[in-house]
Amino acid sequence: MTFTQDLAKQTADLWQQIYDMPFNRDMALGTLRRDVFQGYIVQDAHYLEGFARALSLAAAKAPSADVLAQLAGSATGAIHVERELHAHYMGLFGVSDSAFAAIQPSAACDHYLSFLLRSAALGDFPEAVAALLPCFWIYREVGRDIAKHSQPSNPYAAWIDTYSGEAFDESVSRMLALTDRLGAEADGPTKTRMERAFRRACWHEWRFWDSAYHMEDWAQPPAAQGAPAYQSGPPVSVP
């Protein structure tokens, strides 16, 4: 069993939940609400810019010029997807550049990016790669799964074609090969860090879609929603 096969086995239950979640099932049927997908696309555009930055940070730690070129190329590819795919849908939805700039990353998006940027900046190279892998791998597998159930008239066909297509498949295969190589070379503590980073990133993938489906943003404390202002009282002893 390869290292990435073991990672997939460790996270199989979460992957199945991602396949079965309403966002992806509705997208496969073409019934995903337009406003839900619009909110998702805006957040995904924010995400992919941060993802490209995390890839660039990881690339700076690459052990060879070939690996550096691979990750730098993936960073460029992420920006390309953001410019092409998202521009297509934002044009359809009438989301102007100024309107997009006015929409801040959601809590789920911000949380995921913070994790990736921290892993890439502060973690070692194998840990950073393991944290970045799920965005490649899960999107490919979800894209393929949706493509099996989708019809050509699906309004989200451009998204489905992007992530189930050959060009994306090639980049995912290269990332899997790199992770397998790093996992095979890793000592025990490094392998543990890689596994933990991978599992956490898989959770963030689930959380990003779940948050988009429920159109969640930043939760506000009750006072910000019209509740009475907080009144300070006597000190409370903490046991």
The pLDDT of residue 238 is 35
User: What mean pLDDT is reported for the chain?
Assistant: 90
What pTM was estimated for this model as a whole? 0.89
Burial class (CB in 10 A: 0-12, 13-18, 19+), 77: middle
pLDDT tens for each residue of 124-157: 999 999 999 999 999 999 999 999 999 989 999 9
Q: Which residues of 129-157 are buried (b: 16+ CB within 10 A; e: fewer)?
A: bbbbbbbbbbbbbbbebbbeebeeebebe
- For residue 170, what pLDDT is reported? 92
- Identify the CATH assignment for 34-217 out of 1.10.357.10, 1.20.1090.10, 3.10.105.10, 1.20.910.10: 1.20.910.10
Identify the band that residue 96 occupies on the pLDDT scale cut at 50, 70 and 90.
confident
pLDDT greater than 70 at residue 112: yes
Where is average pLDDT lowest: 28-32, 54-58, 74-78, 233-237? 233-237
Q: How confident is the model at residue 79 (pLDDT cuts 50, 70, 90)?
A: confident
Phi, psi of 130 (to 5 degrees): -65, -35
Q: What region, left, alpha or beta, does residue 226 occupy, with left being phi > 0 and alpha being psi -120 to 50 degrees?
A: left
> Which of 16-20, 74-78, 172-176, 221-225 shows the lowest per-residue confidence on average (mean pLDDT)?
221-225
Q: What is the CA radius of gyration of the chain?
A: 20
More confident: 235 or 191: 191
Q: Which residue numbers are catalytic? A: 205
- Higher model confidence: residue 168 or residue 239? 168
Indicate the residue type of 109: C
Domain residue limits, the chain: 34-217
Tens digit of each residue's pLDDT (9 = 90 or more) over 159-214: 999 999 998 999 999 999 999 999 999 999 999 999 999 999 999 999 999 999 99
Lowest mean pLDDT among 58-62, 132-136, 148-152, 232-236: 232-236
